[in-house]
């Protein structure tokens, strides 16, 4: 039996989030196990005591590595922020950082670190993380979803600024911002001068449009919109790819 390790998005309930539209279509050859990582972005998903996104990723990374050690050759399946977790670990395994650990394939739905590619706009809102590996990597992204397909430079900066934010440890957030300023740890954006009024207004118009898309249906469209060139929805298409995997 092949194990599928599921990494949910921020604030999603266990077992019934967007990825359930994938896992419910898998055949009996697959065993689905949810990785109980925190899935928080400060107060978002975790309330007043929620860990920052960076802290949740750090603890989730150790947890996911342990699950992969427990279930060799598992498939990683993720959505949204869970894609940052699963994709980062998959990239490490692909680079040989963890000798002895292996995964069979990786499915990244709405990865916030999706690298730019032909046919899709922009890249992940949190940056770009390529995965060089011998196993299949399925990057599944709706071009209208600003999480994997962000073209807003203002939101790139906001994502950088807020990754370490939490109400439970504001000092860590402050030190992260200081370190970013010292070491220039920012996504590259075009610097605008104060007289470039049309460009500045356009930048914020794009940011507002992206936020509206995120708050609207576009980030949760995957079970209802069709994968390009297919009669299958995004989640059905991804389930088909997983079902094609053999022992």
pLDDT tens for each residue of 162-186: 665 455 555 554 555 456 555 666 5
- pLDDT at position 173: 45
Q: Which of 159, 152, 75, 65 is nearest to 113 (CA)?
A: 159
* d(C-alpha 17, C-alpha 27), whole Å: 19
Sheet of strand 2-7: strand arrangement: 30-34, 2-7, 74-79, 103-109, 137-140
Q: For 181-226, what is each residue's pLDDT tens digit?
A: 556 665 655 565 555 556 655 566 666 777 787 777 899 999 999 9
Q: For 83-130, what is each residue's pLDDT tens digit?
A: 999 999 999 999 999 999 999 999 999 999 999 997 999 999 889 999
Q: What's the whole-number average pLDDT of the chain?
A: 85
Question: Which whole-number Å values give the CA distances from 176 to 37, 42, 45, 245, in the listed order?
Answer: 22, 14, 21, 41
Looking at the predicted structure, is the pLDDT value of residue 14 above 80?
A: yes
Evaluate whether 45 touches 79 at the Cβ level (below 8 Å). Answer: no
Evaluate whether 150 touches 123 at the Cβ level (below 8 Å). Answer: yes
Band the pLDDT of 246: cuts 50, 70, 90. Answer: confident
Structure tokens at 236: 């059905």
Select the CATH number that applies to the domain covering 2-149+214-243 from these four: 3.40.50.1820, 3.30.110.40, 2.60.120.260, 3.20.20.60: 3.40.50.1820
Poorest-pLDDT segment among 23-37, 102-116, 150-164: 150-164
Overall pTM surpassing 0.85 (yes/no): yes
């Amino acid at each position: 039996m092949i194990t599928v390790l599921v990494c949910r998005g921020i604030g999603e309930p266990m077992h019934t989030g967007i990825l359930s539209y994938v896992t419910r279509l898998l055949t009996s050859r697959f065993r689905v196990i949810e990785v109980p990582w925190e899935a928080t972005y400060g107060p978002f998903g975790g309330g007043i005591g929620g860990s920052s996104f960076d802290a949740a990723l750090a603890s989730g990374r150790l947890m996911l590595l342990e699950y992969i050690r427990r279930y060799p050759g598992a498939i990683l399946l993720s959505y949204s922020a869970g894609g940052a977790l699963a994709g980062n670990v998959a990239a490490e395994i692909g680079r040989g950082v963890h000798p002895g650990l292996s995964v069979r394939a990786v499915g990244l739905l709405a990865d916030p670190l999706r690298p730019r590619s032909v046919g899709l706009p922009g890249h992940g809102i949190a940056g770009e993380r390529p995965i060089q590996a011998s196993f299949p990597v399925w990057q599944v992204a709706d071009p209208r979803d600003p999480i994997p397909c962000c073209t807003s430079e203002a939101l790139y900066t906001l994502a950088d600024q807020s990754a370490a934010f939490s109400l439970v440890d504001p000092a860590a957030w402050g030190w992260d911002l200081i370190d970013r300023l010292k070491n220039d740890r920012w996504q590259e954006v075009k610097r605008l001068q104060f007289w470039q009024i049309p460009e500045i207004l356009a930048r914020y118009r794009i940011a507002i449009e992206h936020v509206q898309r995120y708050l609207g249906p576009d980030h949760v469209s995957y079970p209802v919109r069709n994968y390009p060139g297919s009669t299958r929805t995004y989640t059905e298409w991804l389930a088909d790819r997983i079902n094609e995997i053999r022992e």
